[in-house]
């Protein structure tokens, strides 16, 4: 290990190798290597000399380093902590003393995690290096771009905010950190004002931007991005702990290709005991309808078949949102975030679709790991209703990016249709998508996220009534009930996410008082064309069920009249078999 105290900000710099690596190197070799790394850290080293390594069995192997590259710098000043016995040290769980239980409980709501324990553990604690083995041997370029770290926060817990900042300062090669911008999103807590400024004045790289009104995290990040001086923007939440070697692998990807957007693996800092926990490898960021973010493990057989290694980069359909590095110019070329998104939520979907559809890529970099405190609820207030805010944001994203697939979004969040949500003006966002000549959502589904089920209709084919052994048929632009014939085009219908029963551009409806049925031009906004057909597929068995006209006060059901074999609507009766229907195919529940 090599210690130098001449680095920037007068922080002590330890350059360490993981113990697992040390085993294979002689003492002399370690020194040579560390000297090289130290040089790299201060000046850009063009390293052409081969480095001698021994493999432990006394045979010397010659390693020619790639010119202009170096091994990831494992900078970590917390490696030998001042107080190794402090609670929470090395990422271990901390314990609330018996007589402090009440206090801990009452302070929970300050951040919706164990604030008492956060205050108890060191703000610069050591944590385990959780990177897969092999990461510390990876090479990155000597001329990596610099980054501005942007952390925005509203009423963040003091010790947690400090720990986030120190984890960046302590575990990043400082020549790569242009600055850390803390964007204070109009916090109400006094300590986040003068005290914070005073504390951070000791760290020249840290800048604080106090916003004069609440921007919400999306516009707060943009305020930070506007004044950023680094080549790359690295966004972080304000309750994180960056792990050893986290930064260079992210910057390396952006350096290789400016349209790559690099995310670290997000690990877990427990909200209950503040322990630092690693997560399973091979996780992709995905979403399910109606645009709920989640992580999904790559199936074992895919890992085996493609020989995917733990250190391999994982391409993700969507990012979690909080932590990523993006080339600054590219971020602005993409039109940043939609500034019409409010407060919190949905911006990760927006930026993800935008990146992929407009020529970029989103990657998770397993050799970069950052811990994050996941909380059950937002600890700050929303200017308007929380749920409505997120729904409106998502609907904006759907309107701009999902094309015809937005029906799936609304179909899974049907209450939004009934609410008649006002999403605000979208002209600029739609123009932007045109200007950037972004691809279609269909392209995205086929190429980026082929495993997402995205059937454009919920059900299709024949509409059968088994009791009467017949099917709904179009005859001379009217509706009739006839013997089923799978090859008859006039018996084919689509049941859409917006609940229309379509035959071409015409939709089944009952618009007169007598309850007769007819075909009318389809219109997604016309509620009198909408039918609810509930029991779709259950345990792979198709169930018959009612088809209910939705716009009426009294439930009214599609029925075939027993004697005349005519179609009509009638008062719903759960035991009436002539009101039960089944489509030929069902695509989703
Ligand atoms: C996730 C993301 C988060 C963001 C969010 C919304 C991760 C780990 N976290 O939820 O970054 O993308 O999804 O889609 O991927 N904040 C403000 N002003 C506000 C609200 C929040 O500055 O009005 C700050 C907040 O203090 C925090 C950050 O924004 O530092 C993210 O908020 P969060 O931690 O509540 O979001 P999270 O982690 O639940
Ligand atoms: Mn967070």
Which residues have their alpha-adjacent CB atom under 5 A from ion ligand 2?
Answer: 237
pLDDT for the residue 42: 40
Ligand closest to the CA atom of residue 323: 1
ipTM above 0.95, yes or no: yes
Tell me if 263 sits within 8 A of 323, measured CB to CB.
Answer: yes
Would you place residue 541 in the very low, low, confident or very high pLDDT band (cuts 50, 70, 90)? Answer: low
CA of 447 to the centre of ligand 2 (A): 30
Would you place residue 67 in the very low, low, confident or very high pLDDT band (cuts 50, 70, 90)? Answer: low
Ligand closest to the CA atom of residue 237: 1
Q: What is the pLDDT of residues 500-533, one digit of tens each?
A: 999 999 999 987 778 889 999 999 989 889 999 8
Indicate the length of the chain as a whole number: 589
pLDDT for the residue 48: 38
Q: What is the pLDDT of residues 196-246, one digit of tens each?
A: 999 999 999 999 999 999 999 999 999 999 999 999 999 999 999 999 999
Q: What is the pLDDT of residues 482-500, one digit of tens each?
A: 999 999 999 999 999 999 9
Could you tell me the two tokens for 568? Answer: 């009509």
pLDDT for the residue 536: 55
CA 150 to chain centre: 18
The CA-atom distances, in angstroms, between 114 and each of 46, 163, 187, 237 are 47, 14, 20, 17
Would you place residue 255 in the very low, low, confident or very high pLDDT band (cuts 50, 70, 90)? Answer: very high
What is the distance between the alpha carbons of residues 560 and 569, in angstroms, rounded to a whole number? Answer: 8
The CA-atom distances, in angstroms, between 383 and each of 58, 68, 342, 378, 388 are 67, 50, 9, 13, 11
Cis upstream peptide for 290 (omega within 30°): yes
CA of 170 to the centre of ligand 2 (A): 21
Q: What is the pLDDT of residues 338-378, one digit of tens each?
A: 999 999 999 999 999 999 999 999 999 999 999 999 999 99
DSSP output for 423-490:
----HHHHHHHHHTT---HHHHHHHT-TTS---SEEEEEEEEETTTTEEEEEETTEEEEE---TT-GG
SS3 assignment, position 404? helix
The pLDDT > 70 percentage for the chain reads: 87
Ligand closest to the CA atom of residue 378: 1
pLDDT for the residue 567: 94
What is the distance between the alpha carbons of residues 258 and 327, in angstroms, rounded to a whole number? Answer: 6
pLDDT for the residue 151: 98
Tell me if 341 sits within 8 A of 240, measured CB to CB.
Answer: no
Question: Alpha helix locations (H) across 378-436?
Answer: 386-401, 406-412, 415-419, 427-435
CA of 551 to the centre of ligand 1 (A): 39
CA of 307 to the centre of ligand 1 (A): 35
- Asked whether the predicted pLDDT for residue 65 surpasses 60, the reply is no
Locate the ligand 1 atom nearest the alpha carbon of residue 237 and give its number: 30
pLDDT for the residue 78: 86
SS3 assignment, position 60? strand
Nearest residue by C-alpha to atom 20 in ligand 1: 217
Nearest residue by C-alpha to atom 2 in ligand 1: 322
Tell me if 204 sits within 8 A of 126, measured CB to CB.
Answer: no
pTM of the model: 0.88
Locate the ligand 1 atom nearest the alpha carbon of residue 374 and give its number: 38
């Amino acid at each position: 290990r090599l210690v130098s105290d001449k680095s920037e900000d007068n922080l002590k710099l330890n350059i360490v190798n993981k113990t697992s690596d040390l085993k294979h190197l002689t003492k002399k070799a370690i020194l040579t290597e560390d000297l090289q790394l130290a040089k790299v850290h201060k000046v850009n080293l063009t390293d052409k000399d081969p480095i001698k390594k021994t493999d432990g069995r006394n045979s010397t192997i010659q390693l020619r380093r790639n010119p202009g590259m170096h091994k990831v710098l494992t900078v970590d000043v917390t490696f030998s902590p001042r107080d190794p016995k402090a609670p929470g040290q090395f990422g271990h769980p901390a314990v609330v003393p018996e007589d402090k239980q009440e206090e801990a409980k009452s302070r929970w709501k300050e951040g919706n995690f164990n604030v008492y324990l956060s205050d108890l553990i060191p703000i610069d604690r050591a944590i385990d290096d959780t990177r897969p083995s092999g990461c510390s041997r990876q090479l990155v370029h000597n001329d990596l771009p610099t980054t501005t770290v942007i952390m925005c926060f509203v009423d963040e817990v003091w010790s947690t905010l400090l720990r986030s900042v120190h984890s960046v300062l302590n575990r990043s090669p400082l020549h790569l950190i242009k600055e850390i911008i803390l964007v204070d999103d109009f916090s109400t807590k006094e300590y986040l004002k003068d005290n914070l400024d005073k504390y951070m004045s000791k760290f020249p790289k840290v800048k604080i931007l106090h916003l004069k009104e609440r921007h919400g995290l999306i516009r707060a990040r943009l305020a930070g991005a506007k004044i950023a001086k680094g080549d790359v923007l690295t966004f972080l939440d304000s309750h994180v702990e960056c792990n050893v070697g986290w930064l260079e692998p992210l910057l390396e990807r952006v350096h290789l290709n400016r349209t790559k957007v690099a995310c670290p693996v997000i690990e877990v800092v427990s909200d209950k005991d503040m322990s630092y926990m690693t997560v399973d490898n091979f996780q992709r960021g995905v979403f399910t309808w109606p645009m709920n973010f989640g992580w999904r493990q790559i199936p074992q057989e895919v890992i085996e078949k493609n020989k995917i290694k733990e250190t391999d980069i994982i391409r993700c359909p969507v990012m979690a949102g909080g932590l990523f590095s993006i080339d600054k110019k590219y971020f602005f070329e993409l039109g940043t975030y939609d500034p019409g998104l409010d407060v919190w939520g949905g911006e990760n979907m927006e930026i993800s679709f935008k990146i992929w559809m407009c020529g970029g890529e989103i990657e998770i970099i397993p050799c970069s790991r950052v811990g994050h405190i996941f909380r059950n609820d937002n600890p700050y207030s929303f200017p308007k209703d929380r749920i409505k805010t997120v729904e409106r944001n998502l609907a904006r994203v759907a309107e701009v990016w999902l094309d015809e697939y937005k029906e799936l979004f609304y179909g899974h969040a049907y209450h939004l249709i009934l609410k008649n949500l006002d999403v605000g003006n979208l002209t600029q966002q739609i123009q932007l998508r045109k200007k950037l000549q972004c691809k279609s959502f269909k392209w995205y589904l086929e190429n980026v996220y082929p495993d997402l089920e995205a059937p454009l209709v919920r059900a299709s084919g024949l509409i059968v009534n088994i009791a009467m052994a017949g099917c709904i048929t179009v005859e001379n632009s009217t509706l009739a009930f006839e013997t089923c014939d799978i090859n008859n085009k006039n018996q084919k219908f689509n049941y859409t996410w917006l609940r229309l029963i379509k035959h071409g551009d015409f939709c089944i409806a009952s618009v007169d008082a007598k309850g007769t049925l007819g075909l009318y031009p389809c219109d997604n906004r016309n509620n009198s064309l909408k039918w609810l057909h509930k029991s779709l597929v259950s345990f792979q068995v198709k169930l018959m069920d009612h088809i209910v006209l939705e716009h009426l006060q009294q439930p009214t059901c599609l029925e075939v009249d027993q004697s005349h074999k005519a179609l009509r609507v009638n008062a719903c009766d759960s035991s009436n078999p002539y009101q039960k229907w089944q489509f030929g195919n069902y695509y989703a529940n």
